[in-house]
Copies of this chain bind each other. A is one copy, B any other.
Amino acid sequence: MAFTFQINNSLKFRHDEALLAKSEANRPEIIKKEVKPVRLVDICEDPAWLGGWAPADNGKDISSLAEYGCKRNDKLILDFGDHMVGTFRIHIDQTGSPMDAPLFLRLKFAEMPEELKAESRDYDGWLSRSWIQEEFVHLDELPADLVLPRRYSFRYVELTVIDTSPKWQAVFSDPVVTTETSADYSSFTPLVLDDPDLQKIYDVGVKTLADCMQDVFEDGPKRDRRLWLGDLRLQALANYATFDRTDLVKRCLYLFAAMTTEDGKISANVFTKPKNVPDDTFLFEYSLFFISTLYDLQKVHPDMDLVRELYPVAKGQMDITLKMIDENGKLLTDENYPVFVDWSNDFNKDTAGQAEVIYVLKQFIELAKLVGDTDIADYESSLIKISAYAREQLFNKERNLFVTTGDEYNIGSQVWMALAHVMSDEENKKIMESTIRELFPVKNIATPYMYHHIVEALFEAGLSEEAVKLMKDYWGKMISLGADTYWEAFDPDKPGYSPYGSPIVNSYCHAWSCTPVYLIKKYLME
């Protein structure tokens, strides 16, 4: 994958204090709960699991934890039985002769077993190795309560005694996780589905969403732990279908609206700790999805004050985009403001980008009507022109597929044109049937984000059966590989693929993958 970090740190940003105050007023309470591990495991070879490593009972009894004295190089792996996001503490004492040296302990937190098999020192990827969830601790005096200050995302905690001394052993007791989430399970009733596979897919999606619901909608509680606008759009939809915390969506919209560049552009993501800072990374449709997120919120929980308040920022995004449309209605993409669509850069994204403009412009015109924008006719004529370009210049009638630069027919183009309803419903269905025939099985797509849009396009085109099949093949496959929550990246043809060169920095709980909870409710239950 050819990823380039964007560095635009000379850019100036607005900080609208009034909007930031509103983001603060909508900051959710973090709900905490104490959880204890359910068992002690070893990580054993098992080809059925991701990376070939599965947890297995190791014969030791978790209730007798304090009886296992640990000397140099001894390990214990605690299994908490499900994915956790929270802080960790454990009581440590010693046995044997007096403690004649410090205890040197490593704690490794892993979402998936294979992470425990990866050696941190071997990591050589382009992402920061600081994401490896691993701590090294010296304790000069025991007994002690080791209370780690950081929050981790994990199911397994590996305790490795790097050293004691030949004269004594470390003993552990009372490991506890204090979980953190702003998802309130007490006011949420999950769907009950007839299909057990779909039920499982739904349940894991709910857990994925909940574990990413923190002080903001985080993209992943392990990594990158921050608010991305493209992810927010999907999280908000999944949220309405489940925990329905409107305050959290509003908080996130206010954050993006409050901190645009001086010329009004919204960052792809923002940081909120220790203070609110917009990132200097920009993605074309992420900025646009501010409009979609506001539009989706208004549909579920109408709030005209909010729409009026944020409309100018929404309009700013659309105006920036419309400047990128040429006189024929074609989107002129800009590599410094890249169209994302998917991690992969192996396909051309111009036509998908064109479709995304249409998708969002339709939503924007609805918002413009609500606020009575007098410029509305201009936007409507832009929509006509951009849609016409798509239909007339980008659609190949013989192949019944959208083309993109050169002679490329890729799945991204079809999916986004379907979602944008550029064609009639009947044509849409035929295009998605062509897509299935010619471009399925899906190849070289590694993000649940893109799979979400493929599945949704199938549903929108009336191809529910194919949509459900793809959902089961994709999200169901993650479950069969051991997922407790869905992953940031997964290519079913290459389960071991990591965009970062090592599972150790992969995020195995990533919000943009939680959308089956939305898809199932919207397309199968309503």
List the one stretch of A270-278, A323-331, A434-442 in contact with chain B: A270-278
**A9 in the interface (beta carbon within 8 A):** yes
Smallest Cβ distance from A420 to chain B, in angstroms? 31
Residues of chain B within 8 A (CB-CB) of A102 are 128, 130-131
- Given A5-B167, A96-B7, A130-B102: A138 and B140 interface contact (C-beta under 8 Å): no
Count identical subunits in the complex.
2
Q: How far is the CA of A273 from the CA of B102 in the complex (A)?
A: 12
Contact check, A97 vs B150: say whether CB atoms are below 8 A apart: no
Q: How far is the CA of A427 from the CA of B135 in the complex (A)?
A: 63
A:5-24 near B, CB below 8 Å: 5, 7-9
Closest Cβ–Cβ distance, residue A216 to chain B (whole Å)? 15
Question: Any chain B CB within 8 A of the CB of A141?
Answer: yes
Q: A7-B96, A140-B150, A141-B273 are in contact. Are A101 and B279 (CB under 8 A)?
A: no
Instruction: For A163, give its contact among B7, B103, B128, B135 (CB under 8 Å).
Output: B128
Q: How far does the Cβ of A493 sit from chain B's closest Cβ, in whole Å? A: 29
Query: Is A166 an interface residue when CB atoms closer than 8 A count as contact?
Result: yes
Knowing A97-B280, A138-B135, say if A128 contacts B5 (CB, 8 Å): no
B135 and A130 within 8 A (CB): no
Specify which of A101, A135, A280 lies most central, judged by the most chain B CB atoms within 10 Å of its CB: A101
Q: Which residues of B contact A7 (CB under 8 A)?
A: 96-97, 166-167
Which residues, 23 to 41 on A, are CB-close (under 8 Å) to B?
none
- Give the residue name and chain of the B residue nearest to A225 (CB): B140
Q: Does A428 contact B (CB under 8 A)?
A: no
User: Are B130 and A162 in contact, with the CB atoms below 8 A?
Assistant: yes
Q: Are B104 and A128 in contact (CB under 8 A)?
A: yes
Q: Evaluate whether A99 and B130 lie within 8 angstroms (CB atoms) in the complex, with A150-B138, A167-B5 already known.
A: no
CB-CB contacts below 8 Å: A48-75 with B? 72
Indicate whether A185 reaches chain B with its CB closer than 8 angstroms.
no
A523 at the interface (CB under 8 A from B): no
CA distance A11 to B278 in the complex (A): 64
Is there a chain B Cβ closer than 8 Å to A191's Cβ? Answer: no
A129/B166 in contact, CB under 8 A = no
Question: What B residues does A410 contact at CB under 8 A?
Answer: none
What 0/1 readout, one digit per residue, does chain A (256-290) give for beta carbons within 8 Å of chain B? 00000000000000010110011110000000000
- Asked if A127 lies at the interface with its beta carbon under 8 angstroms from chain B, I say yes
Choose from B99, B128, B165, B279 the contact partner of A164 (Cβ within 8 Å). B128
Query: Which among B72, B100, B135 is the interface contact of A224 at CB below 8 angstroms?
Result: B100
Contact B167 A129 (CB under 8 A): no
A126 to B224, CA, bound (A): 41
Interchain nearest-CB distance for A152 vs B (Å): 10
Instruction: Across the interface, name the chain B residue whose C-beta is closest to A505.
Output: B101
| Complex CA–CA separation, A7 to B98 (angstroms) | 10
Instruction: Report the bound CA distance from A104 to B134 in whole Å.
Output: 10
8 A Cβ contacts from A89-127 to B: 96-104, 121, 126-127
Alpha-carbon separation in the docked complex, A129 to B104 (Å): 8
Residue A136 at the B interface, CB < 8 A?
Answer: yes
Is the beta-carbon distance between B280 and A98 smaller than 8 angstroms?
yes
**Do B150 and A127 have beta carbons less than 8 Å apart?**
no
Q: How far is the CA of A166 from the CA of B7 in the complex (A)?
A: 9
The reply to whether A166 and B5 form a contact with Cβ atoms under 8 Å apart is yes
Which residue of the partner chain, among B127, B166, B277, contacts A101 with CB atoms under 8 Å? B127
B130 touches A101 (CB 8 A): yes
- Residue in chain B with minimal CB distance to A280: B97
Chain B residues with CB under 8 A of A162: 129-130
Residue of B96, B128, B164, B274 near A141 (CB, 8 A) is B274
Which residues in B have their C-beta under 8 angstroms from that of A166? Answer: 5, 7, 126
What CA separation (Å) do A127 and B98 show in the bound complex?
15
Q: Least Cβ distance of A9 to chain B in Å? A: 5
Residue contact A98 to B130, C-beta cutoff 8 Å: no
Write the A460-483 contact mask toward B (1 if CB under 8 angstroms, else 0).
Answer: 000000000000000000000000
Inter-chain CA distance A140–B151, complex, in Å, is 9
Measured CA separation A279–B100 after assembly (Å): 8
Q: A97, B279: Cβ atoms under 8 Å? A: yes
Bound-state CA distance A277–B141 (Å) is 12
A231 to chain B, nearest CB (A): 15
A135 to B142, CA, bound (A): 18
* Whole-angstrom CA separation of A126 from B165 in the bound complex: 8
Given contacts A8-B97, A100-B224, 9 further A-B contacts (CB under 8 A): A5-B166, A9-B97, A97-B279, A98-B278, A100-B128, A100-B226, A128-B163, A128-B164, A143-B274
Q: List 15 A-B contacts (CB under 8 A).
A: A7-B96, A7-B166, A97-B280, A98-B277, A100-B128, A101-B223, A103-B130, A104-B130, A128-B163, A128-B165, A130-B162, A130-B164, A135-B136, A138-B150, A140-B273
3 nearest CB pairs, A to B: A101-B128, A104-B130, A136-B136
